[in-house]
Structure formats: structure tokens, C-alpha cells
Amino acid sequence: MGSALPLGEPVPADGSLPPGTRVDPATDFGVYLHVPFCRVRCGYCDFNTYTSSELRGTRQDQYADTLLGEIGLAARVLAGSGGNRPASTVFFGGGTPTLLPPGDLARMLGGVRDAFGIATGAEVTVEANPDTVSPAVAAELAAAGVTRLSIGMQSTVPHVLAALDRTHDPANVRTAVAAARGAGLDVSVDLIYGAPGESLDDWRASLEEAVALQPDHISAYALIIEEGTKLARQIRRGEVPAPDDDLQADMYELADDLLAGAGFDWYEVSNWSRGVAHRSRHNLAYWTGSDWWGFGPGAHSHIGGVRFWNVKHPAAYTQRVAAGESPAAGREIPDAAARALEGVLLRTRIRDGLPIEELLGEGRHAVAALIADGLIEGPAALRGRVVLTRRGRLLADAVVRALTE
């Protein structure tokens, strides 16, 4: 059901921001809508998601109405702070948003439109399990204003999907992509590599199938073993092997080579797109520190330098919203040092890089050594910024340590 929430200061019942918070209306505003429902729990998943047997105290068929209540509260908070502005991106994540009827997702998007407005040309993404997408579903989402479908492919190899506890039919990925294309939607597919028993040839097969689908965007994430998951317990008991770091590095290099050869450009360590226009603008907002409000149980928000997060369980979330209270469990205002560290952690991951002038003195001194080690691009390519080479992307954690210690 996800990792523990961070500690923080309490949030007033009306959800108001701390006194003196300055919200810049010129800053892009993103909206994240969390749908915490899944048919089954995947063995590797650490997200805040729930199966039907775990939903005591709340109902899936009433979820859209509950979330609309939080949207109304947020609109009042932002209007009072002068920070109410149209959403430039909207992202339905989960869980499996497409477990809800398309009409519910449309009502939620309509709530965002009514409360804040949606900017012209906004990117509106829905994550989807391949088994839940039909031409009718895709058409209804497109009619509601959705522009992009992000399809959880993960792998095309049955034994890899089984190792991840993924239950979708691999053949339905093609069906889902075709449905999205038929509705005029952009398409992204998500992959995971490094599952127990997955070989380099298995991974190549998944990459080749993903490219053959001709999506606009591909995400490829290394499997991370999170404490508390079924997969972590299996590894601890010796039932399955732990991910092999060297093999995962080989898999990353294969992905980068194969995707580049197919016309995809990397723009974030784990993300490739067919040109700038198809980058995920919503996720880039996280990496560059824009404002966003996360709606739903366990969702996190960042408004005017204030970070806050909601209670995790849908029942607790529903109870607070029904009472007209903020569902936020806590908040914090990171100091300058924490923000500088966060900037390095996030902005070094993206193709545009991090301005060297934003590094503290010790970090600036590390730049020359990182160039010599082939971890960041040389002076001619830097343009005054820290930009990772492919080797640097593989060793991103080491780069961050060098720039912050």
C-alpha cells in the first residue's frame, strides 16, 4: 500500500497555505489525479494502491464525487492565495485509472476545468492497463479532453510479466495502442527491465515490440526492490534472485541504443520521446520544480514552495473530504539547502541539465573531475550546465553525490 508518509507540520482543516506563501501566477500549474484502485497487487509495486478487498470504508463507484470535493477545496485555497490559474497539464495516475468508467474520469476532468480552467494546448494524460482500453473507452476519453494515453506494457515476454505479477494479455497492448490512435490520442508505453529471470534477449524482444507499436514516447524503468513488497520478501527468502546491477546496466545501454536508432531521443534518464513535442510535460514539471496539486489519497503537492501530502487510505481520505476538511496529513517548507540538493537530484536527470551557477562551491569544483571521468558532457556541449553523458546516466547517483558533498 505504499511507503510511509513523511513527517511534517499539521495542515489547517481548511487547507490554507502558510501565511506569507507567495504563489507566482506565471508559474505553470499541473494537476495530478490519483486513482488508487487495482484488480491485483503486482509483486514489485510500492505505490499507494488498493484492491477491492482492501477498500473497507469507501466505495469505488463514489470515488469521483469524493475527489471533486477536494478539487473544490483546492480552488478556494488557491483563489485566496492569488494562485488560481489554468492547469497546463493534468495526469490521471494510479493504481489503474481506467478501472473507473470513462464517465467518472470525464467528470473529474470537468471538475478541474470548472475549478481552475485548462490551458489551451494542455497535456492531459491517463495511465491505462492494456486490458481496460477499447475503442469506445479511448473515444470517450478523447471527447472529454484527454490528449494522451500512457499504457502499462512492462514487457512482451510472458515469463517476465509473470515474475512481475502482471496479469494483462500482452496481445492487448497492440489493441490498446490501436484504440488510442483511432481516437486521435498520443501514446506512451511503459517498460520495466531487470525482473527475476529476464535475460538480455528477453529485454531486446520487449524493446523491439515497443518500437514496432510506433508510440510517441517510451519510458523504461529499472526494477527497484522496495521494502514491504511481495518481491522483496521473495528475494529475502531466496525464492527468486535479486536484480543484477551489471545486467541492468547492459539493459539500459541496449535500450538507449535501440531507441535512438528508432528515432527516440532521451530527455530524462528513464524516458525517451519522438522529439521535444512528445516529452511528458507533466513529469518535466516535477523535475523542474513547477507547481502542482495532487488530488486523492496519498497524493503529494507543491505550491509556492510548500510541500504537502494527503492521508493514504481511501477511507480516511473520504472521511475528511466528506466533512469538508482538507485531506492533507502534513506539510513542510524546505529550506534553501534542501532546495539546492533537490535541484541537483532532479535537474541533473533531464537532458536540459542543471545550470552550473546553481551549484554550491564544492559542487562547482567537482565539475572538471566529472568531465574527465566521462560522466558529464565536456565544456563545448555544457553551455554552462551539468548535462549527463550516457555513462553519467548509468551512474547518476554517483554524479549527484559528487555535486552535493
CA distances from 173 to 126, 182, 243, 291 (A): 15, 14, 25, 33
User: Mind listing the pLDDT tens digit for each residue in 22-77?
Assistant: 999 999 999 999 999 998 888 888 888 898 778 777 889 999 999 999 999 999 99
The predicted structure's pLDDT at residue 44: 84
DSSP label of 53: G
pLDDT number for residue 279 = 98
| Strand blocks (E) in 85-241 | 87-94, 118-128, 148-154, 186-193, 217-222
- Apex CA 45: angle with CA 170 and CA 207, to 5°? 40
pLDDT (tens digit per residue) in 317-328: 999 999 999 999
Q: pTM, whole model, 2 decimals?
A: 0.95
Lowest-pLDDT choice from 39-48, 144-153, 258-267: 39-48
Cell of 81: 492565495
Measure the N-to-C terminal CA separation of the chain; round to a whole number of Å.
34
Question: Given a cut of 80, is residue 5 above it in pLDDT?
Answer: no
Give residue-wise pLDDT tens across range 274-326: 999 999 999 999 999 999 999 999 999 999 999 999 999 999 999 999 999 99
SS3 letters for 190-231? EEEECCCCCCHHHHHHHHHHHHHCCCCEEEEEECCCCCCCHH
More confident residue, 86 or 47: 86
CB 173 within 8 A of CB 213: yes
